[in-house]
Amino acid sequence: MAHYSNFRRRYNTYNPVLTGEDVSASTVKREIGIVYLALGEEHMGLTVLSISFLRRFGYSGPIRVITDRGGWNVGDLDFEVLNPTSVGTLYASRYYKTQINKHGFPTTLFLDTDMLCISPIDRIWHNLQSAELCMSLELPRVSNFIDYYWKRWEWMRPELTYMYQSGLAGHRFYNSGLILFRQSAVTDRLFDTWHEEWKRFGGQDQCALVRALARTGIKPHVLPARWNCPPTLFRSIEEAQSLGIRILHFFSGTQRLRLPEFIQQFQHALGGRSPDGRSDHNEKHVAVKR
């Protein structure tokens, strides 16, 4: 036990996330990783596409996929597949997502399957130098979310009403499609509380996250929009890259429909080859449902 404690102290001292050193160093490679949650056939395809872009733009670290599907063709994408026990609930993805820390690394970047890394992501880890949890804002306030979905999602009105009654309408509203965190008692408490709050209504996870943050008093470091940006204002991946965007998030139905067009344009611009000169063979097999 003493040997392990000494190792942890040495790791905390030399952790590149804290010191700003190269996170690809072999001595800490397994301490830092990316996690996906892919339930269902469509998300299987989206995950392979997302991972292929991560590898394309230089990420060589561990990747772990939590999934209910078999038959993954890992190939040279080099990722780990874990199959959790089925929970038999309509919102199984939220059941696992609100506990994703249990499948994470000492330092974890969780990504939704509909996120596309379009530039190197090396610098994202440095955001943890001043916080244990980092996310980007989706909307300025919870009230913006309530106003938008009150008529669109009638089934969610009991939870939206609860948010108002709990005095949380003025709180910040984070997007949980990208969560950067360090494993610690603080983040474990947040995820435990998030899962508990999610079970209160058992539907979407965003409002439950707001309640969990309020209960635990944890204040996430706000990531700049370039790390989690919808493609709304862009006509192509190249245009987004030129404006400094690192990760595009195709999180809505309308934007998801634009993904095949973005990929096709990008492949055409590259002449069917990746930036490092290798043949483009991973993305062409990925089908995104329209």
Domain ranges of the chain: 2-228
Specify the pLDDT at position 269.
Answer: 82
Specify the pLDDT at position 273.
Answer: 52
**CB-CB neighbours of 289 under 10 Å:** 10
Q: What is the pLDDT along the chain (290 residues), one digit of tens a residue?
A: 333 233 233 333 334 444 444 444 443 457 999 999 999 999 999 999 999 999 999 999 999 999 999 999 888 999 999 998 877 666 889 999 999 999 999 999 999 999 999 999 999 999 999 899 999 999 989 999 999 899 888 999 999 999 999 999 999 999 999 999 999 999 999 999 999 999 999 989 999 999 999 999 999 999 999 999 999 989 999 999 999 999 999 987 888 899 999 999 998 887 755 543 344 434 433 333 32
Distance CA 131, CA 148 (A): 31
Specify the pLDDT at position 272.
Answer: 57
Specify the pLDDT at position 282.
Answer: 42
Specify the pLDDT at position 249.
Answer: 97
Long-range pairs for 278-281: beta carbons < 8 A, 24 or more residues apart: none
CA angle 103, 12, 132 (to 5 degrees): 55
Domain range 2-228, CATH class: alpha beta
Specify the pLDDT at position 243.
Answer: 96
Give the orientation angle of helix 206-216 with respect to helix 142-149, to 10 degrees: 160
CA distance to 19, 20, 100, per residue, from 25 (Å): 13, 12, 25
**CB-CB neighbours of 9 under 10 Å:** 10
Instruction: Report residue 45 CA to chain centroid gap.
Output: 16
CB distance 176 to 209 below 8 Å? yes
Contacts of 161 (CB under 8 A, 6+ apart): none
Specify the pLDDT at position 278.
Answer: 41
